[in-house]
Structure formats: structure tokens, C-alpha cells
Amino acid sequence: VGILVQARMGSTRLPGKVLESIGGEPLILRTVRELMHVTNVSVLQVVTTDSPKDDLLCGVLTDAQIDYFRGDELDVLHRYLCAAKQLNLDAIVRVNGDCPFIDPLLVQDVVNHYILRSDNIDYVSTVIDETFPLGMHVEVFSVRVLAACSKEAMGFEREHVTPFIYNNPNRFRVDSFKSEKNFANYRLTVDYPEDLTFSRKLADLLDSDIKIGEPRNRLHRIIRILEENAELVAINSSYRKPQTMRFE
């Protein structure tokens, strides 16, 4: 099982966002370094594009000694499949690189859920029934199933990697990982300038009382901060929308 973090410089809404500074380091490095706390995976790699636009991103990753794979810019499904085959993976943990507050222990829990049920499921995620904040999305799925999807998936399904799986529950064994309490109204991803402002302020509050070597991004701490700071939540509240990823 390996974590593949999707990242590129060419974001339509906020170009270059993965290298914007949050908590004193580039967003992509914060995301990846938090994921290093996940203990039940064998590899962690950034999957970016072979576009010259991503040369700068790859330079930052090289300097930070973080492994990366470069592949097709638009066919992200193919990019993931090629990276997984090169790493000889059985299963992929998919995380987006614009999620600087991803909780590594949540990722670990979703991976455990998959491992314990891998004889009976092909895919599990926090995406189908959205009970976690946007920016805490984790997907775990079989490389064998992704290869099968690659033969038929088209357009949107290739750009977003997994819709062909969860939109075909009669063909694939799909499971949902849910929070006991619904936190889907919170937004922890970076897509707009307001998200960046929000993330920098949240990081300052979140990182102020962390012991060295411990994960910074614990969901319960983040929720407590948001509940205590309504003015912080208001910064990017105009972009908080119900996210529906159910089978369609």
C-alpha cells in the first residue's frame, strides 16, 4: 500500500498554490510531511505532471528529498496507474496535494479499514458520504481495479481518477468511511485566495502548541479551533458548499 499525493503547479483557480507558504513551508511539503506520520503504508510519493510548469515543483521536492513521479498532465488516472506499477503497489492511497491539514491518523484509519476488508472491498473513501471537512478526503483502492477502469473510463473520470469506481457500485465493491459527527460544513482545502488566507491563520493557531515529532494535523484539534474562532471560519465561508459524491 502506498500514498500517492496528486499535485501540480497549473491549478486553474489558484496557479502555483502547492508552493504557497503555509506555516512557514510550501503547502505541498506541509502536506507530505504530515503524511509521513502514517505508519501502515510502504511508500509515499508525489505524482505530478511531465509539463515544464512543474519543473519548479520537482526542484522543491528534490531539495526536500521527497520522491516524485511525473506523468500525463490531463490523464491523471493514467498517471496514477503508471506510478503505482512502477512502485509495484497492490493498493493506492489517494490524497490531494492541496490539503495542508490532512490528518495522518485519519489516513491511517482508512488504510486499516481497507486492509482488514481487502478480500471484500475494492475501494473505500471519506468521499462517498461526506462527513469529513473538504480537505480531509482519503481514498484507498486496488491497483487491479484502477487498471480495469483505465480500459473504459473517459473524460472527467480520467481527470478525477476514481469516479468510474464509485459510480459503478454494481461492478466494484465500494465502501464508505464516515465520521461519527458530520463536519462536512468546514473547508480545509486550498482552491482560492481566501482559502490561502484562512489556511495561514489556521496553521498559526494549530502549530503553536505542538510537540516535536507529533502530527500537527489532528482533526479534533482543528475542529476545536474552528468552533472557537467564528471569524476564522468566515474567511472562506462563501466557498463552502454541500459536496455530493454519491453514486450517480
Could you read off the pLDDT of 67-86 as tens digits, one per residue?
999 999 999 999 999 999 99
Residue-wise pLDDT for 40-64, tens only, equals: 999 999 999 999 999 999 999 999 9
DSSP letters along 165-202, please?
Answer: HHT-TTTS-EEE---SS--TT-B-S-SSHHHHHHHHHH
Amino acid 211: pLDDT:
77
Say if residue 244 is exposed, middle or buried (CB neighbours under 10 Å; 0-12, 13-18, 19+): exposed
Amino acid 164: pLDDT:
97
The answer to whether the predicted template modeling score (pTM) of the entire model surpasses 0.85 is yes
CA distance 198 to 200: 6
Cell 482488514, residue located: 116
- Residues of the chain with pLDDT below 50 are 242-248
Q: Phi, psi (5° rounding) for residue 74?
A: -100, -35
Q: Which three cell numbers stand for residue 229?
A: 474562532
Amino acid 239: pLDDT:
86
Ranges of beta strands (E only) in 19-170 are 21-22, 25-26, 43-49, 68-71, 91-96, 123-125, 139-142
Amino acid 212: pLDDT:
78
Instruction: Using the CB atoms, write b or e for 143-166: b if 16+ within 10 Å.
Output: bebbebbbeebeeebbeebbbbbb
CA distance 31 to 36: 9
Amino acid 209: pLDDT:
79
Ranges of beta strands (E only) in 126-164 are 139-142
Contacts of 205 (CB under 8 A, 6+ apart): 225, 229, 232
Q: Are 195 and 238 spatial neighbours (Cβ–Cβ below 8 Å)?
A: no
Amino acid 242: pLDDT:
47
Q: Which three cell numbers stand for residue 43?
A: 511508500
Amino acid 210: pLDDT:
78
Amino acid 244: pLDDT:
43
Cα dihedral sign, 112-130-158-135: negative
* Residue among 41, 49, 127 nearest 90 (CA): 41
DSSP helix/strand/coil, 63: helix
Express the helix, strand and coil content of the chain in percent, nearest 5 each. 40, 15, 45
